[in-house]
Chain A
Amino acid sequence: MTNSARLGRLETEIELAQKVQGGLLPKAPPSVPGLGIWTTNQPELGVGGDFYDFISNGDTGLTFVVGDVCGKGMSAAMVMTMVRKVIRMVITNYPDQTPWQIIEHCSRHLLEDLENTCTFATIFLARYRFADRNLVYVNAGHSPVIYCPLGGPARLLPAGCEPLGILETPRLADSWLIFQPGDVLVIGTDGLTEAYDPLDVEIAHKRLIRYTEEYASCSARDLGDHLLEPIKGYQKAFVTEDDQFLCVIKGT
């Protein structure tokens, strides 16, 4: 096979993988009472390790997950499909368990495979209850996650434990907040941080926090557009170095 034929075949394989991965991720965010949700996902190599999922808890609430399997491209995408499926399965099978208990189950199921593939996955997982707007979450090594209550100030929700794939039982408990109308949650992945500042994560996060505060009164979609605006120049000037994912959730 010639080099150009091999290259063409690889491109076709990546396109097919992209379709498969696209088929696994939600087509559009769900429409649920009390929340406006907007997402965008741009894998650098067509496929990647970033993922998100929304699982309905019937009439009572919504569980959402944002994850990032370390590494990039096809290898990260392969691990991502496994991690996403295990998390979805555990959430569905244990509807009454808290995010921390779900992560504990997932960690046990995934550790061996993540060990064998020398990889890990950062996860932000939250359960939102419609009736009282209670949002219980666990952050396993994921950033950035920014919370901006109505009127501000915005702040990072720091990780409470290691990513999945490091320990069988990560050390953590659930955190919670009451997610009121006007409150905002911005969840990105490290590719977004790098696009804001490739060398200084503190500066990148400060800028993200400042923009979140500045446009917090907008709808989820408009806030997302505003957050992507500053990095459009970066994307044009450089080949993006990482997958970029952004999810904006707004209390309505």
Chain B
Amino acid sequence: MEYKFRTLGNITVLGITGSLDRSTTAPVQSWLESHAGSQSKFVVVNLEGLKHLDSSGLSTLVSGLKLFRAAGGGLCLCCLPNQIRILFELTRLNLAFEIYPTEDAAIQSTEKRISRFAGLGLNE
């Protein structure tokens, strides 16, 4: 498993590739915990290169969703390979996450959301 991230203004894009399972979730979990309360409150998780996801990996993503929501931000997913998309559908976790077909679509939607927050005076 490999992960890397880049920051685009208020949004961080986190890319995870390889296998996200029990033996590899710890660094991703630490990243999510340390970034949830940071300046960039919104994260787009790009799973395009993810080959394998088990229940521990799913749990880590759910945990990230909860952490970012609790910090007043959000976490969405994009570019799910077919096998990963099926896992989300089987567990109906596709109802819990916002899932986008492309990274651009995820970023645009998140930007709109941040603008709405700003309009309501909910940002920093």
Contact = CB atoms under 8 A, between A and B. Distances in A.
Contact of B91 (A72, A159, A200, A202): A159
A174 to B, nearest CB: 16
Interface stretch (B4-12, B37-45, B54-62, B116-124): B54-62
A241 B83 contact: no
Nearest to B59: A70
A122 interface: yes
A162 B93 contact: yes
Given A160-B92, A163-B92, A241 B21 contact: yes
Contact of B90 (A120, A143, A171): A143
A162 B94 CA distance: 8
Given A71-B22, A163-B91, A242 B86 contact: no
Contacts of A160: 92
Given A162-B96, A171-B95, A201 B83 contact: yes
Interface residues of A, number: 32
A95 B90 CA distance: 29
A141 interface: yes
Interface in B52-111: 52, 54-56, 58-59, 62-63, 66-67, 83, 86-87, 90-93, 95-96
A135 interface: no
A103 to B, nearest CB: 13
B35 interface: no
Contacts of B86: 201-202
Contact of B96 (A70, A142, A166, A242): A166
A190 B96 contact: no
Contacts of A120: 59, 62
A89 to B, nearest CB: 25
A118 B55 contact: no
A53 interface: no
Given A120-B62, A201-B83, A201-B87, A163 B22 contact: no
A71 B90 contact: no
Given A167-B96, A200-B83, A159 B56 contact: no
Most buried by A among B83, B91, B92: B92
B3 to A, nearest CB: 18
A119 interface: yes
Nearest to A49: B55
Most buried by A among B51, B52, B66, B83: B66
B17 to A, nearest CB: 15
Contact of B92 (A72, A119, A161, A242): A161
A119 B83 CA distance: 22
Nearest to A120: B62
Contacts of B59: 70-71, 118-120
B37 to A, nearest CB: 15
A194 B93 contact: no
Nearest to B90: A143
Contacts of A158: 90
Contacts of A15: none
Interface of B: 21-22, 51-52, 54-56, 58-59, 62-63, 66-67, 83, 86-87, 90-93, 95-96
5 contacts: A118-B59, A141-B92, A162-B93, A163-B92, A190-B54
Given A190-B54, A199-B83, A201-B86, 12 more contacts: A70-B55, A70-B62, A72-B22, A72-B55, A118-B67, A120-B59, A120-B62, A141-B90, A141-B93, A161-B92, A161-B95, A162-B92
